[in-house]
Amino acid sequence: MLAGLLRHGGIIGAGALVAGLLILAIDWLTVLDSEGERIRESIVADIGGAALVVTGLFILWVLWRQKADARDFQTEGVAAEAEIEDMRLGFYGTDITIRFTDALGQEHRAHLAGNNLATRPGFGPGTRLAIRYDPANPRRLRFQDTLDRLAPRA
């Protein structure tokens, strides 16, 4: 599990966690061997070390949740083909509107904000994409290529 997290950007989270733990360990060893003069410096190091530990754990938790979500979509999501209807440059990336038909023959539209599709060559209105959607809520979907990167199918 940890190897998969590291492969998908978790090295930053793991690095922050390890650095924070090292700072705390070194600081506590230094404080044990010194007089009261180092207490103020010790508190600053403790706060910095604790902040790195919390940040590292948070990053690893977010990555673990993304991987778990991808696994859920791979096993429970329904495969479909979507067509890009509209692409507009938004504040956080490319906002796209896609259209697809579910397994019951109903057509759905979904608006996805902040994607990086505009940076991929050949993407634009009319492009067809493989997706997986939640049968209970068809507007909740993921792109198949993203799922394959996060949780490869067995």
Tokens of 51: 């902040």
DSSP for residue 105: S
Mind listing the pLDDT tens digit of every residue in the chain (154 residues)? 445 554 556 778 888 888 888 888 887 777 666 565 556 667 778 888 899 999 999 988 988 888 888 888 888 888 999 998 988 877 777 788 889 999 889 999 988 876 666 566 677 788 898 889 998 888 888 888 777 777 776 6
SS3 89: strand
Contact between 118 and 87 (Cβ < 8 Å): yes
pTM: 0.65
Beta bridge partners of 78: 133
> What is the topology classification, in CATH, of domain 77-150?
OB fold (Dihydrolipoamide Acetyltransferase, E2P) (2.40.50)
CA distance 20 to 55: 9
